[in-house]
Amino acid sequence: MSFEYWFMFPISIAIATIALASGVEGATFFTPLFIIGLGVPTEVAIGTGLMTEVFGFTSGLYAYIRRGLIDYKLGRMLLIVSIPAALLGTWLGGRIPPDVLKGILCVGLFAIASSFLRSPESATVKLLDQDIEAHHQKAAQTCITTNAGETICYTIDNRTEGRLLIGIGGLFLGMVSTGLGELNGYFLLQRCHVPSKIAVATSVFIVAITALIASIGHAIQFIQQGGDALNTVLSLVIFTAPGVIIGAQIGSVVASRMPQKLLERGMGILFILVGILVLAEVAIRNAELAVSLLDVLFSST
């Protein structure tokens, strides 16, 4: 372990602030940064990004627990699918070639960017909540009373579709450290018809637990590998972990003062650019490798 990545402490505070304010998983920022900015091996970058994310999500999870907004029954139903899928993704991530992993990461980044650019307006979310309330107020299967005394009732729809989507999200989370939170947001509100307050809180609960289990899987792999991989992970986490804990607290304040739609549009454009940069890095490296092989081939003839 070394202190060469000390500068990641202030960067982590900034990233966690933006991540919590925009509602995106922190690893979506950290993993590309580790790969492109620091030149960290792809598998190490993914695992470290996921470990860092766990610290940030824990802070947000605590806030939702205090407010009593989490549907634990729904969370358990989806965790039964997301955790095995994430562990499978972790196992696959250690066996997939790095360039293929980067390609999968780019697909995830473009999908997340699309979800931000097409996210519903706040007025639309209010209409969805009103529709859920009007539709299910007489025959609701689930009722949650928050710590503020508000009772929210609803019926969960499309359970099979939800398990499938959450399974795909968990697989992506394990392989490339991102994707589950965005699929959760789409499914719980727009397909499952869970009110937005409960949907956001339950999504954080599912992602936090799944990311924790998946990060343990990555940690076990790094411990088994030892050497440079484990040293790099520790050298990064000692600065990123406290940074995201601080940034998560600041982000909750920023979220209430910044126009959410503007922030989401900015994140969408940013992730498209990052995805293009990752693809360009893979293309340039493979082109250089092809040129080297041609040089060897022609020199031998």
Q: What confidence score (pLDDT) does residue 236 get?
A: 92
* Domain residue limits, the chain: 8-126+158-300
Residue 58 CB partners (closer than 8 Å, separation 6+): 208, 245
Q: What confidence score (pLDDT) does residue 129 get?
A: 57
Instruction: Express each pLDDT in 47-81 by its tens digit.
Output: 898 888 888 777 777 777 888 888 888 888 889 99
Residue 109's identity, in one-letter code, is: L
Strands (E) across the chain are located at 142-145, 151-154
* Residue 293 three-state SS: helix
Phi, psi dihedral angles at 31 (to 5 degrees): -60, -50
The DSSP result for 215-269, as a single string, is HHHHHHHHHHH-HHHHHHHHHHHHHHHHHHHHHHHHHHHHHHHS-HHHHHHHHHH
Regions of the chain with pLDDT less than 50? none
Residue 176 CB partners (closer than 8 Å, separation 6+): 31, 46, 89, 93, 101, 104, 105, 108
**Measured between alpha carbons, how far is 138 from 42 in angstroms, rounded to an integer?**
51
**Measured between alpha carbons, how far is 237 from 9 in angstroms, rounded to an integer?**
9
Q: What confidence score (pLDDT) does residue 66 get?
A: 81
Residue 162's identity, in one-letter code, is: G
If one counts every other C-beta atom within 10 angstroms of the C-beta of residue 279, the result is 16
Phi, psi dihedral angles at 182 (to 5 degrees): -70, -40
